[in-house]
Each structure stands twice: as C-alpha cells, then as structure tokens.
Amino acid sequence: MIVAERKPFEEIKAMLDGYSRILVLGCGTCVSVCMAGGEKEAQILATQLRMFYAKEGKDVQVEDDTIQRQCDREYYEVLKDKIDKYDIILSMACGAGVQLASELYENKVVVPGLNTTFIGIAQGAGVWDERCRACAQCVLGETGGICPITICPKGLLNGPCGGTNNGKCEVDNNKDCAWTLIYRRLEKQGRLDNIRKIHAARNYKVCTTPSRRVHTAYEKEE
C-alpha cells in the first residue's frame, strides 16, 4: 500500500492563505488505511482549519468530502455538482491523487495535504515499513522475497558489501543487513546457490518517468 503522512499544519495554512472557500478532499483507500488522509482525517483537518480561521476572525468557508479513490477518474463523478463552490482543493491523497485532481480541475488550485512516503506493509497497529521502490525490475524471485533495492540503504543488487557487521548494516547498526536477511531466507528454502548469481547492472531505460502500463486486454491494435 502507499504510505503517507500529513503535512505540518503551518505548511497547510500557508498553502491555503488568501482563499475563502476551501474543500478538504479525503481519499478512501491507501491513505485511509494508514490513517493520514481518509474520511476521518479530512474531517479532523477541516475542523482544525475552521477553528483556526474563527480564532483569526477570518470569513473562510471550509468543507470536507471524501471519495473512494482520488487516483481513478470514475470516483470524481460525485463531485461534479459541488466543485464550483470552492476556490481551492486541499487533497488528502497521495501524489498521484493530487495530480489527477489537478488535471481534472485545471481551473482550480489543488494543493497536497500529505507527504507521500513509500510503498510498504503494515507491521502492526500504526506501524508501516517500506518494502518496494516500484523499480520495474523486480528480483524478489531470486532473493527470497526480500528486496535489496529497498531494504539495503545502498541498493546493492549483489551483496553483501564489506560493511556488514554481525548481520547489521554499517549505515545504521539498528537495521538488519538486507543481504544477511536474503542469505538466511535462501538457506531456509534450500536455494543458497542463488546468492552466487551475479545480477547485471540495472537497466535504467525501464525506469524512465513517467511510466505507463496498459493491460493487454486494453491494448489497441496497430
């Protein structure tokens, strides 16, 4: 899932300065799960803003709404009769959602309420760990399901480096060495021969941005 965190309130206030009709738009998927930009978080932020403007004696209208996904056009349909009421949209989605909202409402100012941090997994209540860089060259099948690009601070495709110390990383000795983890996982699986394989240098041609993927069922014939 995409993990994000709310921007500091001072930064949000600065982006909204000068606007009198504000929509705080929540997103009901990834950022809702990580408790950063869902319906509840949009309502809380809208309330905070209303309290701030009331205290400042400013006549600013702040409303909130939430759609299922801000990264899919179809979910914006419910806003079509509402959007003209606002001067600015404070998107509580990941960076992709902010950009789609900006594309759909080109005559509106759309600003981010969150900082998108990483693609990760839930480790427990309120805890998420980064696991994927979306690099388009997945090697998890060779490395026992542990991503060296993400888990290793150096992003080493062939490891370990000379700095591993008792299974810990020299960059941060509180973190496990990714290649020690890979070694132990492959050992459990009886696939230690994989550790001897030399991975070719990464092909950055496939990492060009922005990327696009079209499902084969939707490919147009030449």
pLDDT at 142: 93
Beta bridge mates, 89: 23, 110
User: Is residue 209's pLDDT more than 70?
Assistant: no
List, for residues 107-147, the tens digit of each pLDDT value: 999 999 999 999 999 888 889 999 998 888 889 999 999 99
The answer to whether residue 176 sits within a structural domain is yes
The answer to whether residue 152 sits within a structural domain is yes
Q: Tokens for 154?
A: 């150096």
pLDDT at 212: 63
* In contact, 36 and 112? CB cutoff 8 Å: no
Clarify whether residues 58 and 151 are in a common domain: no
User: Is residue 221's pLDDT more than 90?
Assistant: no
pLDDT at 178: 95
Which residue, chain included where needed, has tokens 């496990």?
A: 176
Clarify whether residues 79 and 151 are in a common domain: no
Residue 108 sits at φ, ψ, to 5 deg, of: -110, 150
Residue 120 sits at φ, ψ, to 5 deg, of: -150, -170
Q: Which residues contact 35 (CB under 8 A, 6 or more apart)?
A: 41, 126
Q: Compute the distance between CA of residue 168 and CA of residue 187 in angstroms, rounded to an integer.
A: 18
| Residue ranges making up the domain that contains 161 | 134-200
Mean pLDDT, residues 21-46 taken together:
97
Clarify whether residues 88 and 27 are in a common domain: yes
Using the 8-state DSSP alphabet, how is residue 11 labeled?
H
* In contact, 171 and 159? CB cutoff 8 Å: no
